[in-house]
Amino acid sequence: MAQGEPPFKRVLLKVTGEAFCRAGNQGIDFEAVKHLAQEIADGKRLGVDIAVVVGGGNIFRGSVAHSKGMDRVQADNMGMLATMINGLALQSALEGLGLETRMLTAIAIPQLAEPYVRRRAVRHLEKGRVVILAGGTGNPYFTTDTTASLRAMEIGAEVILKATKVDGIYDADPMKVSSARKFTELKFIDVLKGNLKVMDAAAISLCMENNVAIIVFNLTVPGNISRVLSGEKIGTIVREG
């Protein structure tokens, strides 16, 4: 890597649905979406390929609806549609900042977005477009965290940037336990054994098997995406050995 060059060529950014609304709220908060788009735009200027997997928890979570009696598959389908709403909101905000984007969905909605085709996603990235990947994996019983792991491997991303509201992985919930200790580095196996709340076990296992690192960082701090992309050591990195 030449001096001053970002350490990554291609990253997969996983953004939870919660980043699209105000803390504790639901739905879409346009200021939150603008913040997210600005962060991505600033990161893009560093010349890194960015694909974004969007969650949908701010609108609909299949597991919650299922716990209230809804058929699981139907509920998860609604959850996947929710990620597409977020994807469209993000696309609009990114385009408002002058970025070229493409949204690809795992469930075809051809009037609104392209269907997800791996080669197409890669081609868009090569052309410098921000690629928004919505609709999860297209299958019920999965999450957008697992989608992020799967897509990272498919498109050859070197790292998953897992954007959260806290500045890394802790041994207890830092919002509730004042003595909670932050890890700067962890192994996949420790995340699985410690049942640490990073991404679900399926997502972690996929990353472990295919050796794709995960950096957990705080998206609410302006400039953090650019910091991570510049190689600044913020948050927690999960990787092999």
Q: Where are the beta strands (DSSP E) in the chain?
A: 10-15, 49-54, 101-105, 114-115, 130-134, 159-164, 169-170, 182-183, 185-187, 213-218, 236-239
Residues 174-213: x where in contact with ligand UDP by CB under 6 A, - otherwise, as a string: ----------------------------------------
Instruction: Give the residue, chosen from 5, 30, 45, 63, that forms a contact with ligand UDP under the rule CB under 6 A.
Output: 63
Token pair in block for residue 87: 């994807």
Question: In the set 101, 137, 149, 164, which binds ligand UDP (CB under 6 A)?
Answer: 137
Interface residue with ligand UDP, options 91, 101, 105, 143 (CB under 6 A) = 143
Query: Which pair of structure tokens corresponds to residue 91?
Result: 């696309």
Cα separations in angstroms, 162 against 15, 64, 217: 7, 22, 6
For residues 75 and 62, give the distance between their C-alpha atoms in angstroms, rounded to a whole number.
Answer: 4
Q: Which of 41/84 has CB closer to ligand UDP?
A: 84
List binders of ligand UDP among 17-46 (CB under 6 A): 17-18
- CA distance between the termini of the chain: 22
Stretch that binds ligand UDP, among 97-105, 135-143, 163-171, 220-228 (CB under 6 A): 135-143
Asked if residue 49 binds ligand UDP (CB under 6 A), the reply is no
* Residue 238 contacts residue 213 (beta carbons within 8 Å): yes
Where does this chain touch ligand UDP (CB under 6 A) — which range of 13-21, 40-48, 210-218, 231-239? 13-21
List CB contacts of 166: < 8 A, sequence separation 6 or more: 174, 175, 218
144 SS3 class: helix
Q: What gap in Å lies between CA 198 and CA 194, rounded to an integer?
A: 11
Q: Which stretch binds ligand UDP (CB under 6 A): 27-35, 51-59, 160-168, 181-189?
A: 51-59
* Shortest separation between residue 170's beta carbon and ligand UDP, angstroms: 19
Residue 27 C-beta: closest distance to ligand UDP, Å: 13
Q: Does 139 bind ligand UDP (CB under 6 A)?
A: yes
Residue 149 within binding range of ligand UDP, rule CB under 6 A: no
Binding site for ligand UDP (CB under 6 A): 16-18, 55-57, 61-63, 75-76, 79-80, 82-83, 136-137, 139-140, 142-145, 147
